[in-house]
A = this chain, B = another copy of it.
Amino acid sequence: MKRRGLREAEQRLADADYRLTPQRALILRLLFEHQGEHLSAEELHALVGRTNPEVGLATVYRTLELLTELRVLQAVDLGDGRARYELAGEDRHSHHHLLCLSCGRVEEVRDDLLERLEQSVEAEHGFAILDHQVKFVGLCRECRTRERWKDDPERGEGEGPGG
């Protein structure tokens, strides 16, 4: 569905006089195929490696950096100590994430109230907002419903249906 986005992204590379190497093309494709998964460099490298084991991790890092620079990607911090990436929204910066403590899932939020908040901040602090990062940590609807939280005083639980 977002196939067009891929073309645009490739075009943006060309427009900025960068080469569309097979590595970059593959990485870009995977990024679009795994939209919404917030892949890290290493995860992406693993994905790349499925078909092209030759591609080095450094290349993945370099490509990620390049694509971020070109505003094709945006780095997001999900609090696990590594950078994760998502496709950058065309019109608007929109990293508002709901991070579930129980299952680790990441939902995206789009809420007009945030714009309201920005306006308020700009007005009250005289601060010109260029970008933002909003992250809510808590329990998603499902985990909350499951109530598997009250049992666990500490933490560690295997959320594994895959087992």
Q: Tell me the smallest distance from the CB of A131 to a CB of chain B, in Å.
A: 4
CB pair B134 A133 closer than 8 Å? yes
Proximity string of chain A (96-139) to chain B, C-beta cutoff 8 Å, 1 when within and 0 when not: 00101100000101010110111011001111111111111111
**A42 CB–B CB distance under 8 Å:** no
Asked if A141 is at the interface (CB within 8 A of a chain B CB), the reply is: yes
Q: How far is the CB of A24 from chain B (nearest CB, A)?
A: 23
Once bound together, how far apart are the Cα atoms of A121 and B117, in whole Å?
A: 14
What class of interface size applies to chain A in its complex with B? 20 to 34
Is A140 an interface residue, CB under 8 A from the partner?
A: yes
In contact, B113 and A127 (Cβ under 8 angstroms): no
Answer whether residue A19 sits at the interface, using C-beta atoms and an 8 A cutoff: no
Q: With A126-B144, A159-B128 known to touch, is A109 a contact of B121 (CB < 8 Å)? A: yes
Q: How far is the CA of A126 from the CA of B112 in the complex (A)?
A: 17
Q: How far is the CB of A96 from chain B (nearest CB, A)?
A: 9
Q: How far is the CA of A133 from the CA of B99 in the complex (A)?
A: 11
In contact, B126 and A136 (Cβ under 8 angstroms)? no
Selected A-B contacts with CB under 8 Å, 14 pairs: A77-B77, A98-B127, A109-B125, A113-B116, A114-B117, A116-B116, A118-B136, A126-B141, A127-B139, A127-B140, A127-B141, A130-B137, A131-B137, A133-B137
